[in-house]
A and B are shown apart, each in its own frame.
Chain A
């Protein structure tokens, strides 16, 4: 008897191409994406992108920079002579992970002083750079290895400064708040969107399709509800970030609100579009959840994107998470005005509209399935 049930279930799986894909293909893709991301971020393969600015008047800087370049742990992408502002600017805009300014040490004119220009959300880059500076320093200035229990005779002077123009020091919390908010926003939107299947199964969609307005008011109403719910979710998380960690949300409330509306709308549109692609609630929920988790992983909601390999870092730009996080970083870290958010906001708005249009079209088809 048990074999009869086994056979029924096996045939159910074999004859359902959607279920087959969900069972075998989707987990495989999911694994490949997550393995790439986590292996890169936890396996010591992270090479921070570094911009270096040095004082051209110092005789030893060329030698030191050459030594630093030989460090495998660093990816020195830019080197500027006498231009500290460019280095700070690159860090502030996230184009490099950390900056290094090499200056004369006023206390010891024969030796250099170092200023690490850092983004608090990328602390690990600063730590890797600090270790590399110490190694390069020891080689350049031929410092003998200290005896056991003794301090080195010379140690580099390293000052760490935030490259911020906005709420310095709160970027890591603001980033986390945005990352977590986007993750739960998308998951909630998916779970809200699948209620369309309950309405299909109860005959409500059949009734609406026969009526004068069709299913459009139903889909639009869900889009509106999921957007408002998403804004409230984001508000709760950022309120905690403000109250517990001092992220200065009140001073940036308007750009925060605009970003949050755009992010919530894009999540609602994408969730509705994803769920209405499938004929059954189970398929829709599985596919949409997996897609959301992959988007969150690629978009930086689970691991900061700067820790990912370049290919995945670029791939992350196709997700609303990356656009929203870029926008939140822009206002809370760089202190940019609302007018500077044109690109991420436009992308979020386009995602919201395209998702809504697809959901409107698919919902009508849903009734016939």
Chain B
């Protein structure tokens, strides 16, 4: 489970010891990671973990107090930092009274693209997100998923080597979410480095080449989802115990004795399943003797959610 790695020549984004404070609060605490060309890196963490601050730091809108951020790539040489990255904000940063083609044309001009390349760039972006057939319709008449894809298209118009996506599938249905995932996979195949922030751990596990776990401004781990799970759980499964109320001290001692943990002594406790199922029965008996009211005991294959819970003691809203 690596947290830092030496920069390589394929790296498009290099973040080294990035530290940002808001007054007394440390929003980013010496964060280090890199994203390679053709790689999708998902930064996961709950609200307030520092994801937005990190995105703002990468785009240059939140200067670092310490550390450095470098963006490399063919488009970056001799051009501004802005030309090297595309940003897809969480909100729909598009004009709904325009058509998709008009929207992209406007954003191409606002991004100071040369007039001679705009038409081709707009067409290419429409094709990449699969909106060619609706290019002339009013954006307000498109579905939520299509509007999300247009939001992405506006960020890739100038074919940036680095694409930053902030929660790109918020509020869309499962089908639209899958279509957006396909678009992101296509962009990755084209060699784009993609930094995705999300609190949707299933999305990160399904889509990302590598994942960074961010909590309270600190990057706790970075690796592939498979390796993160394997390194945390090995061949073991995950045990989740949900209590009706906060546990008594004796119940808490029993849970901790089993190696389970919970955020702030809460009602959900999780960790590796130690031993066999008979050990779970013993734990249940111990909890009952301690007066704990157990709502559910669940044993499941570990996921990124399990890793996140194990690393931070926090759960992330699905």
Chain A interface residues (CB < 8 Å from chain B): 201-204, 206-214, 217-218, 221, 367-368
Contact = CB atoms under 8 A, between A and B. Distances in A.
Nearest to B107: A207
Given A210-B85, A212-B80, A203 B91 contact: yes
B263 interface: no
A208 B157 CA distance: 13
Contacts of A213: 82, 110-112
B61 A207 contact: no
Contacts of A218: 110
A214 B83 CA distance: 11
Given A202-B92, A214-B82, A217-B112, 6 more contacts: A203-B89, A203-B93, A209-B61, A212-B80, A213-B82, A213-B110
Contacts, number: 61
A201 B109 contact: no
Contacts of B110: 208, 211, 213, 217-218, 221
B94 interface: yes
Interface in B273-301: none
Contacts of B94: 202, 204
B267 interface: no
Interface in B77-99: 79-83, 85, 87-95
A367 B93 CA distance: 13
Interface of chain A, helix or strand or loop or mixed? Answer: helix
B154 interface: yes
A207 B109 contact: no
In the A-B complex, the 9 residue pairs with the closest CB atoms: A203-B89, A203-B93, A212-B82, A210-B59, A213-B112, A203-B91, A210-B87, A212-B83, A211-B82
Contacts of B107: 207
A217 B93 contact: no
B237 to A, nearest CB: 41
Given A207-B107, A209-B59, A213-B111, A202 B91 contact: yes
A201 to B, nearest CB: 7
27 contacts: A202-B91, A202-B93, A202-B94, A203-B90, A203-B91, A204-B95, A206-B87, A206-B93, A207-B88, A207-B107, A207-B154, A208-B110, A208-B111, A209-B61, A210-B59, A210-B61, A210-B85, A210-B87, A211-B87, A211-B112, A211-B158, A212-B81, A212-B111, A212-B112, A212-B158, A213-B110, A213-B112
Interface in B226-279: none
A210 B109 contact: no
A206 B164 CA distance: 12
A208 to B, nearest CB: 6
Most interface-central of B89, B107, B158, B164 (chain A CB within 10 A): B89
B155 interface: yes
A94 to B, nearest CB: 45
A207 B80 contact: no
Contact of B89 (A207, A217, A368): A207
B91 A217 contact: no
B92 A203 contact: yes
A221 B88 CA distance: 22
A53 B92 CA distance: 71
Most interface-central of A204, A208, A211 (chain B CB within 10 A): A211
B188 to A, nearest CB: 20
A368 B60 CA distance: 12
A217 B82 contact: no
Contacts of A202: 91-94
A209 to B, nearest CB: 6
A63 to B, nearest CB: 75
